[in-house]
Amino acid sequence: MLPLRAAFLTGLLGLSVPSMWGAEHRSLLPQPQSIHYGESNLQVKGLSIRFKSAPSSEDRFTAQELEKGIEKLTGLKLPIASAPNSGAAIILTRTGTVDALPQPGETPGPDSREAYKLSVTTQGIQITGRSSASIYYGVQTLLQLIEGHDSSAHFPTVEMQDWPTTAYRATFVDVSGEGQMTTVDEIKRQLDFLAKWKGNQYCLYIESNIELDGYRLLNPDAHYTKNQIREIVTYGKARHIDVIPAVELYGHLHDLFRVEKYADLADFPHGGEFDPTNPKVKALLDDWITQLAELFPSPYVFVGFDETWAIQKAAQKSGAGATPVTLFIDQLSYVTKSFKARNKTSLAFADIMAKIPEIIPNLPRDIIAVPWYYDASPDPEYKFWLDPLVAHHIPTMVASGVNSWVEITPNYDISFDNIDTLLASGRKISTLGLINTLWTDDNQVLLRMSWPGIAYGAIAPWQTAPIDRSTFFSEYARIMYPPAAAAEVAQAFVSLNKAEVTFEKAAGRSSNIAVWKDPFAPATLEHMASQRENLRQARLFAEDAQEHLLNAQSLGAGRDQLRDFLVGARLLDYADMRFIYALEIKDIWSTLPSHPTAHQVRDALDRGVYSWTHSRTFDLMDDITQLRTHYRDAWLSQYTDYRLGTALGRWDAEYEYWRRAQSGLEGFVAQFHDGDSLPSLLSVVRDSSER
């Protein structure tokens, strides 16, 4: 057997651990703190699931999840025994109280509420922990240990101790009406997914799209009912995830102020931020806080307070000695005090605190500041954001981001680096936790493509060692997809990320904005001419990703699981192609003399440029219309139809762009006569007699 110290280090480093007979076991995510494999195994067939301690409803749910998980992975259905029996069993033992959810004052470590021990011998399996959450997490790890299928399915013998290194591991998801509005069923899928990786908080970013009594005009076509919120909260609790309301109680409230009835509550008409000097604001806040506190049982509330960009002008407007500091502190103090009276601790974004550091010494007591930065930081230790808070002993939870809000597909390179480096810096200052954020800023995001980033952001704060990025996609795919398809999925993710990163080199970081730009604009043509090879390489990567995704589907990976990634890969392919085609059309145009003959014009442009069969403009019209259908299907599989028309407007405009370009080119050729002057390409593609 491996010495215990060697086994412990092996567990930390995430290496596959060979047993004495040479087999290699699967890597586990998160990596357990201590793991020691034996030399034998235990067959799944014939086991039962039993409780040693009196089971709570939470424990019974965990047993049911174990039963379903084993059946899904092996095809074997194990009984949950209501009484002891003499056969081999998976025994769940809770040694303390239920303690289902994280509370203020939570601590990580081997004696924490979430720590568990897992033992697999040839006689049976023991999962032991202090709380219902610890047993649940032990079960998630046990499911990852299964090797084989059907009657050959087995667990390797192993002794394991595991615990989180960070107490609070939150995922923050933008489900608000500012972009797409996620369905309740999709939120449940996200909670199921987050539970796999031992995340324990889910910040539901709802802005102004929640049903509140007395506010029928507030997003009437896009809100969650109170019953839906209760349903989400209950669903999360069963999976040991505390659902935290993430609201906005200073800025980001244009949806409220665009209603004339509430317009005078803003610092500027129909603006985006409250006017803290208006007495009617406090009355509204009292009402909202009361309703939110009753609806969400979480001991935490995320109150926003980020990106209050108009605060400087608002202070000048207010006069009477008002400053940005006083406006911010007055509003924040009122909100946090009101929630504190309802036994809730407030979290607030810290970007304005960093921008106006005089705010920090005046922050209300008991607040948790959330410094956020979502990019590769020019300061690898994030000192600009963290040091002022540390100096004034302000508790923090650091916030990373999955870079997908203005990208065609997530930029995993930046996202993973951001999570790793921000978490490392946070640990140096004893941060309470990590909040991994996902946004839908550009109203085009398909969030299922961000799921690997959600997993990464939950795994990293649990385990001690940094995640091995070189193997992450392989290990993630092995856990998420059928064994036959896992390698194909992993390679698809690698190629898809390369396609996104390479396209960003050509088009800029906001790739999902760049894809809709006019490709014939002179500045764009000039820039893209220097990026031909990046465009070509990005397209090759996107095509490679499509091949692997289609292979994975044929090998058993579910269509729904990979649909978003296929849409992303095809859109990246299209984005590169449209710029490449524009450059090629320009090159063809450049071969014509200043006064060509009609035959020269027709010969250069007909077949390859505007012809109704197999031409560049028709390729693009065909592709964008097909993609639009796939994109719409992907949208409706996870979002309500709110703002779908707005989102699809871009796709319709893209088709119309190429239809007009084709029509303009065709009309130009039909009307051209020998000796006419050759106009600019831009004037032709933008001209159409069919307008």
Q: What is the pLDDT of residue 83?
A: 67
Q: Single out the residue of 686, 108, 168, 647 nearest to residue 395, CA to CA.
A: 168
> Final residue of a domain: which of 434, 468, 502?
468
Residue at token pair 């690997």: 452
Provide mean pLDDT across the span 436-454.
94
Give the contacts of 636 (CB within 8 A, at least 6 positions apart). 644
Q: What is the pLDDT of residue 316?
A: 85
pLDDT digits (tens, 9 = 90+) for 219-238: 998 899 999 999 999 999 99
**Which of these ranges, 52-56, 138-142, 164-168, 424-428, has the smallest mean pLDDT?**
52-56
Q: What is the 3-state secondary structure (H, E, C) of 143-158?
A: HHHCECCHHHCEEEEE
Beta strands of 235-274 (E only): which ranges? 242-246
> What count of other Cβ atoms lies within 10 Å of the Cβ of residue 110?
11
> Final residue of a domain: which of 108, 134, 162?
162
**Given pLDDT bands bounded at 50, 70 and 90, which one contains residue 151?**
confident
Domain co-membership, 194 together with 332: yes
Q: Does the residue 81 lie in any domain?
A: yes
Q: How open is the CA angle 684-689-690, to the nearest 5 degrees? A: 120
Q: Does the residue 399 lie in any domain?
A: yes
Q: What is the 3-state secondary structure (H, E, C) of 493-515?
A: HHHHHHHHHHHHHHHCCCHHHHC
13-34 as b/e, with b when 16 or more CB fall inside 10 Å?
ebeebebeeeeebebbbbbbbb
176, two tokens? 């608000």
Provide mean pLDDT across the span 229-257.
97
CATH code for position 533 = 1.20.120
Provide mean pLDDT across the span 168-196.
94
CATH code for position 139 = 3.30.379.10
> CA 447, CA 635: separation in Å to the nearest integer?
9
Q: Does the residue 650 lie in any domain?
A: yes
Domain co-membership, 521 together with 417: no
Residue 130 belongs to what H/E stretch? Answer: none
> What count of other Cβ atoms lies within 10 Å of the Cβ of residue 556?
12
Domain co-membership, 410 together with 286: yes
Provide mean pLDDT across the span 397-402.
98
Q: What is the pLDDT of residue 377?
A: 73
Q: Does the pLDDT at position 417 exceed 60?
A: yes
Q: What is the pLDDT of residue 688?
A: 61
Domain co-membership, 109 together with 176: no
Residue at token pair 């006017």: 275
The identity of residue 683, as a single letter, is S
DSSP for residue 291: H
Domain co-membership, 94 together with 214: no
CATH code for position 212 = 3.20.20.80
Q: What percent of the chain has pLDDT over 90?
A: 87
Could you tell me if 385 and 350 are in contact, meaning their C-beta atoms sit under 8 angstroms apart?
yes
Provide mean pLDDT across the span 423-433.
97
Domain co-membership, 258 together with 404: yes
Provide mean pLDDT across the span 335-364.
97
Q: Does the residue 478 lie in any domain?
A: no
Domain co-membership, 564 together with 632: yes
Q: Does the pLDDT at position 683 exceed 50?
A: yes
pLDDT digits (tens, 9 = 90+) for 635-659: 999 999 999 999 999 999 999 999 9
Q: Does the pLDDT at position 171 exceed 70?
A: yes
The number of folded domains in the chain is 3
**Given pLDDT bands bounded at 50, 70 and 90, which one contains residue 20?**
very low
Q: Does the pLDDT at position 5 exceed 60?
A: no
Q: Global pTM?
A: 0.94
Domain co-membership, 495 together with 571: yes
Domain co-membership, 156 together with 175: no
Q: Does the residue 664 lie in any domain?
A: yes
pLDDT digits (tens, 9 = 90+) for 471-485: 999 999 999 999 999
Q: Are strands 368-370 and 345-349 parallel, antiparallel or unpaired?
A: parallel
Domain co-membership, 497 together with 454: no
Give the contacts of 237 (CB within 8 A, at least 6 positions apart). 100, 101, 243
Q: What is the mean pLDDT of the chain?
A: 93
DSSP symbols for 534-603: HHHHHHHHHHHHHHHHHHHHHTT--HHHHHHHHHHHHHHHHHHHHHHHHHHHHHHHHTS-SS--HHHHHH
Provide mean pLDDT across the span 578-585.
98
* Residue span of the structural domain in which 525 resides: 484-685
Q: What is the pLDDT of residue 177?
A: 67
pLDDT digits (tens, 9 = 90+) for 530-564: 999 999 999 999 999 999 999 999 999 988 889 99
Q: Is the dihedral of CA 103, 109, 113, 116 positive or negative?
A: positive
Cα–Cα distances in Å, from 411 out to 30, 406, 509, 676?
Answer: 22, 10, 9, 49
Q: Does the pLDDT at position 12 exceed 50?
A: no
Q: Are strands 124-129 and 116-121 parallel, antiparallel or unpaired?
A: antiparallel
Q: What do you get for the CA distance between the two ends of the chain, in Å?
A: 78
Q: Does the residue 691 lie in any domain?
A: no
66-96 as b/e, with b when 16 or more CB fall inside 10 Å?
bbebbeebbebebebbeeeeeebbbbbbbee
Domain co-membership, 295 together with 198: yes
Provide mean pLDDT across the span 196-213.
95
Q: Are strands 154-162 and 34-43 parallel, antiparallel or unpaired?
A: antiparallel
**Given pLDDT bands bounded at 50, 70 and 90, which one contains residue 690?**
very low
Residue 48 belongs to what H/E stretch? Answer: strand 48-51
Give the contacts of 155 (CB within 8 A, at least 6 positions apart). 41, 42, 44, 120, 125, 142, 145, 146, 147
Give the contacts of 628 (CB within 8 A, at least 6 positions apart). 648, 651, 652, 655
Q: 3-state class of 665 per DSSP?
A: helix
Q: Does the pLDDT at position 85 exceed 90?
A: no
Helix and strand numbers, DSSP H then E, in the chain? 23, 14
Domain co-membership, 597 together with 448: no
> Final residue of a domain: which of 162, 187, 208?
162
Q: Does the pLDDT at position 218 exceed 80?
A: yes
109, two tokens? 């470590």
> CA 417, CA 424: separation in Å to the nearest integer?
11
Q: What percent of the chain has pLDDT over 70?
A: 95
> CA 262, CA 217: separation in Å to the nearest integer?
10
Q: Does the residue 474 lie in any domain?
A: no
Provide mean pLDDT across the span 597-626.
95
**Given pLDDT bands bounded at 50, 70 and 90, which one contains residue 84?**
low
Provide mean pLDDT across the span 370-388.
90
Q: Does the residue 328 lie in any domain?
A: yes
Provide mean pLDDT across the span 199-217.
95
Provide mean pLDDT across the span 192-215.
96
